[in-house]
Amino acid sequence: MLLILTLILKILGIIVPLLIAVAYFTIAERKIMGAIQRRRGPNVVGYIGLLQPLADGLKLFVKETTLPNSSNLSIFLLAPSFAFILSLMGWAAIPFAEGIVLCNLNLGILYLFAISSLNVYSILFAGWSSNSKYPYLGALRSAAQMISYELSIGFAALTVALCAGTFNLTTIVIAQEKIWFMIPLFPMFLIFYISILAETNRHPFDLPEAEAELVSGYNIEYSSMTFALFFLGEYANMLIMSAFGALLFLGGWLPVNYYLGFIPGTLWFSLKICFGVVFFIIARATLPRYRYDQLMYLGWKCFLPLTLGYFILTVGILVSFNLLPN
């Protein structure tokens, strides 16, 4: 009984801060975009607009859920719940500092890939069950896009795993004590961060919800709480991808240098996640949207050969100089 209670408390200890982080991710996005576009952003609800996400959340909670007559209701309602639950499940394998992890999996990288792959299904379910042309087109685009960019993310993560000699995320961070993998694997670092934009359907790769042609993509028919679940899932996925990038390339909870070691590891990890968050926001504020064929060309003809080539080069260097980890 005590074990179950401890587990529930641990899960709540991840979920509650995550939901607060998602809420303040949205306000950070609107504020930073406002600053880039020389306007104020939200500044009415609460001090300098800090209570705006809570007001938006409350608004979505109390609105009526409209269900399309021609939709497949069970799958239509399952899709947003599935998206939200998957975005929470990924955090189980993320180490916040040494020893602070819900489940220290030896195959942590593969677990995160499995979770991110399943995200495609929630979008496909939403698009198909709505029984409408626009969501269906958005869902098909999304599935193709996510599968295309998972390959380049996979090769980037595989190169890191090869250098560290493990799939365990905690061990990968400890392997970066001398040098962060961002430095020797800089091309992989760049490709990884660009690919996670496509993987999370974010600007400039937000083709599944291109307002100009698909109205709003796969979530057109969703309103109130069902829409809120998709929204929360999308932002939680961005946070988990930022955390994944921080663990693989930026040394996780390790400090920038030895002299700053007195700052807690969890704080360093949070700052590195914030780096990913700011990257997402600046990409959205400054870049134009890609055309669909350009998106596929970039994924299959640029990133995939580059990551595969760099992976083979890394293997060659490690074998030639006898640097393979035991």
The per-residue pLDDT for range 77-117, each reduced to its tens digit, is: 888 899 899 988 889 889 988 888 888 888 889 999 899 88
Kindly state whether residue 99 falls inside one of the protein's structural domains: yes
Kindly state whether residue 53 falls inside one of the protein's structural domains: no
CA-to-CA dists, residue 237 to 51, 64, 88, 90, 145, angstroms? 23, 26, 8, 9, 16
Contact 66, 219 (CB under 8 A): no
- If you average pLDDT over residues 52-60, what whole number do you get? 85
Kindly state whether residue 189 falls inside one of the protein's structural domains: yes
Kindly state whether residue 16 falls inside one of the protein's structural domains: no
Q: What is the pLDDT of residues 22-31, one digit of tens each?
A: 888 888 888 9
Q: In angstroms, rounded to a whole number, what is the distance separating the alpha carbons of residues 290 and 244? A: 25
Q: How far is CA 94 from the centre of its chain?
A: 12
Kindly state whether residue 51 falls inside one of the protein's structural domains: no
For 74, counting Cβ atoms within 10 Å of its Cβ (0-12 exposed, 13-18 middle, 19+ buried), the class is: exposed
| pLDDT category of residue 248 using cuts at 50, 70 and 90 | very high
CA-to-CA dists, residue 135 to 23, 88, 99, 187, angstroms? 26, 24, 43, 35
Which structural domain, as residue segments, surrounds residue 218?
73-320
Kindly state whether residue 11 falls inside one of the protein's structural domains: no
Number of other CB atoms surrounding residue 58 within 10 Å: 11
Nearest one of 96, 14, 12, 92 to 266, comparing CA atoms: 96
| pLDDT category of residue 41 using cuts at 50, 70 and 90 | confident
Kindly state whether residue 48 falls inside one of the protein's structural domains: no
**3-state SS of the chain: helix, strand, coil percent to 5?**
70, 0, 30
The number of folded domains in the chain is 1
238 Cβ contact partners less than 8 Å away, ≥ 6 residues apart = 25, 196, 200, 202, 276, 277, 280
In the prediction, which pLDDT does 216 show?
A: 64
This prediction has a pTM of 0.91
Q: In angstroms, rounded to a whole number, what is the distance separating the alpha carbons of residues 220 and 227? A: 9
Number of residues that make up the chain? 326
Q: Check pLDDT > 60 for residue 198.
A: yes
Q: In angstroms, rounded to a whole number, what is the distance separating the alpha carbons of residues 111 and 256? A: 28
Helix, coil or strand: residue 100 = strand
Q: In angstroms, rounded to a whole number, what is the distance separating the alpha carbons of residues 296 and 302? A: 9
In the DSSP assignment, the letter for residue 254 is: -
Q: What is the pLDDT of residues 255-310, one digit of tens each?
A: 888 787 788 888 999 999 999 999 999 998 888 888 888 888 998 999 999 999 99
Retrieve residue 298's tokens: 């970039």
Q: Check pLDDT > 80 for residue 209.
A: no
Nearest one of 166, 210, 179, 183 to 326, comparing CA atoms: 166
Percent of the chain residues topping a pLDDT of 90: 27
Kindly state whether residue 47 falls inside one of the protein's structural domains: no
Q: What is the pLDDT of residues 309-318, one digit of tens each?
A: 999 999 999 9
Average pLDDT, the chain: 87
99 Cβ contact partners less than 8 Å away, ≥ 6 residues apart = none
Q: Check pLDDT > 90 for residue 211.
A: no
Retrieve residue 223's tokens: 């309103």
Q: In angstroms, rounded to a whole number, what is the distance separating the alpha carbons of residues 208 and 99? A: 39
Q: In angstroms, rounded to a whole number, what is the distance separating the alpha carbons of residues 78 and 126? A: 8
Calculate ∠ Cα 45-221-61, nearest 5°.
35
Q: What is the pLDDT of residues 135-160, one digit of tens each?
A: 888 888 888 888 888 899 999 999 99
For 110, counting Cβ atoms within 10 Å of its Cβ (0-12 exposed, 13-18 middle, 19+ buried), the class is: middle
